[in-house]
Amino acid sequence: MRDRVNDAEAKVVITCDEGWRNGGRVELKNFADKAIEECPSVEKVVVVQRTGGDVSMIEGRDIYYHDLIDGKSKERPATVTDSEDMLFVLYTSGTTARPKGIVHTTGGYLVGAATTHRLGFDIKPDDIYFCTADIGWVTGHTYIVYGPLANGVTSVIYEGVPNYPDKDRFWAIIEKYKVTQIYTAPTAIRTFMKWGTEFPERRDLSSLRVIGTVGEPINPEAWIWYNTYIGGGKAPIVDTWWQTETGHILISPIPGVTLTKPGSATIPLPGMGADIVDDEGVSVPNGSGGYLVLTEPWPGMLRTIYKDPERYKDVYWSRFSKPSENKWVYFAGDGAKKDLDGYFWLLGRVDDVMNISGHRISTLEVESALVDHPSVAEAAVVGRADSTTGQAIAAFVTLKGGNQGDEKLLAELREHVAVKIGKIARPASIVFTDELPKTRSGKIMRRLLRDISEQRKLGDVTTLANSDVVNEIAKRASTSMSKQAD
């Protein structure tokens, strides 16, 4: 928070006294106070009362929101803006420690958000729409706030976790409000699989018309489970690809129109230009893999990195563009392949592609093979340095209830991967763990798993939702990897 506030030179911070999570309270105001100690630009802090908890208020700087609006008119005239005026800066992760503030502007972003929301989820006037994302993540911005509001759809917004007070919380919400569309993450779906079918089976989910996934590629087993137990085999799945930088969905099926395949984001939406190219920037034929690029401007495209236009050009536009020919190609940083029908299959970040004895193997490919095994609930794979093969495959696996992480299963999983992909993809080490380290938006922190597998000092863990789990994984990994090396 400190780094982002300082980068933006923000004058006002809006926070809550506390938030609710998992039956407990999150000390939002206290966290904000600590960050602001090193933020000289901040002049005012506006505090929304959420829990009524006792928090410190600095006189002259801090003000409660209800006091700020007391006596003010509930109607405010709209402020006229230019289509290219900045709407918001949203920070995303980069390969350096410097903040990377993605700038989205007003007109194009709103067109993209409204259109892709309406088209991608088949929005009707009477729909009840539920996106489970964190509202501070780009999915929350586009598909909880701007898109649904622009389309006038009734939305369910939930601030808690899916297992409080019980593991059927999402399904109880759907049953109660007769939700027609749900949009969630593959990580969450794999967690639901781990918990078992009894929880969705408790609830009536027949109101669902469209079910969506976002945040990372979904493996086929999770896709089929989602289709069967949540969609009831009748609700189309929209497996969506997009980024903080793109602002809205670019590759996705249109429900009821596009033929879907488990694990594929299918094809670009109408008007969106995407391709897969080789190292030279040449389009690859169907049946081949390479780098995902965007070849045409799109409505919600990022305009720059805040206060860092050169980095913007270098990160996104330098790899495959040819300025001398006025040819500009956006490099998404993701690997992908096209099947023989021209459907796109996302393989994860390019830096999540491992080089094992000269063979390029996607971490996602190995993860998908592992979770295809009936005992596995979730898996994360990283490449660790190896003096013989360049990189070795290190896997971290959580098991479905009732399964034992013993030597027998370890050997079984290695062989399972060998059968699914090839012997070259067999993990050099497998660590069984109860949980994987995840951010609050549900993304697995593979960077930390790489640190663990290479026995390095752990990097920053402040964005984790479950930071305690990292030390436990490190202990298990140290014991398990040395045994497997022997």
| pLDDT value, residue 40 | 97
pLDDT score, position 18:
97
Q: Looking at residue 410, what is its pLDDT?
A: 93
Provide block-wise average pLDDT over 10 residues at a time, the chain (486 residues).
93 97 92 95 98 96 97 92 97 72 97 98 98 92 98 95 95 98 92 94 98 91 96 97 96 97 97 95 95 96 97 95 93 94 90 74 87 93 84 92 89 93 89 85 80 72 60 77 62
pLDDT of residue 447: 81
Q: What are the extents of the domains in the chain?
A: 2-69, 86-338, 357-485
Distance CA 29, CA 119 (A): 39
Give the model's pLDDT for residue 214.
93
pLDDT for position 453? 86
Instruction: Report the residue count for the chain.
Output: 486
pLDDT, position 97? 58
Q: What pLDDT does residue 443 have?
A: 75
Residue 282, Cα to own-chain centre: how many angstroms?
29
**DSSP class of 241:** B
Q: Is 86-338 CATH 1.20.1290.10?
A: no
pLDDT (0 to 100) of residue 486: 55
CB 403 within 8 A of CB 409: yes
Tell me what pLDDT residue 48 has.
Answer: 98
Which pLDDT score, from 0 to 100, does residue 378 have?
92
Ordered alpha helix ranges (H), 59-168: 65-69, 106-120, 138-140, 147-151
Q: What is the pLDDT of residue 1?
A: 86
Query: End-to-end distance of the chain based on CA atoms, in angstroms?
Result: 44
Q: Write out the two tokens for 69.
A: 């609006």
Nearest by Cα to 269 from 105, 112, 109, 106: 112
Dihedral sign for Cα 281, 285, 288, 292, please.
positive
Q: What is the 3-state secondary structure (H, E, C) of 432-443?
A: ECCCCCEECCCC
∠ at Cα 426 (422, 429), nearest 5°?
A: 175
Cα(6)–Cα(139) distance, integer angstroms:
24
Write the CA distances from 161 to 53, 134, 173, 227, integer angstroms: 20, 10, 12, 22
Q: Which long-range contacts does 249-255 make (Cβ < 8 Å, 24+ apart)?
A: 249/116, 249/120, 250/274, 250/294, 250/298, 251/344, 252/116, 252/120, 254/119, 254/120, 254/122, 255/120, 255/121, 255/122, 255/209, 255/210
Q: What is the pLDDT of residue 349?
A: 78
Give the pLDDT score at 308: 95
Tokens 């903040």 belong to: 99
- What predicted TM-score, i.e. pTM, was given to this entire model? 0.81
pLDDT confidence of residue 245: 95
Task: Look up the CATH architecture of domain 357-485.
Answer: 2-Layer Sandwich (3.30)
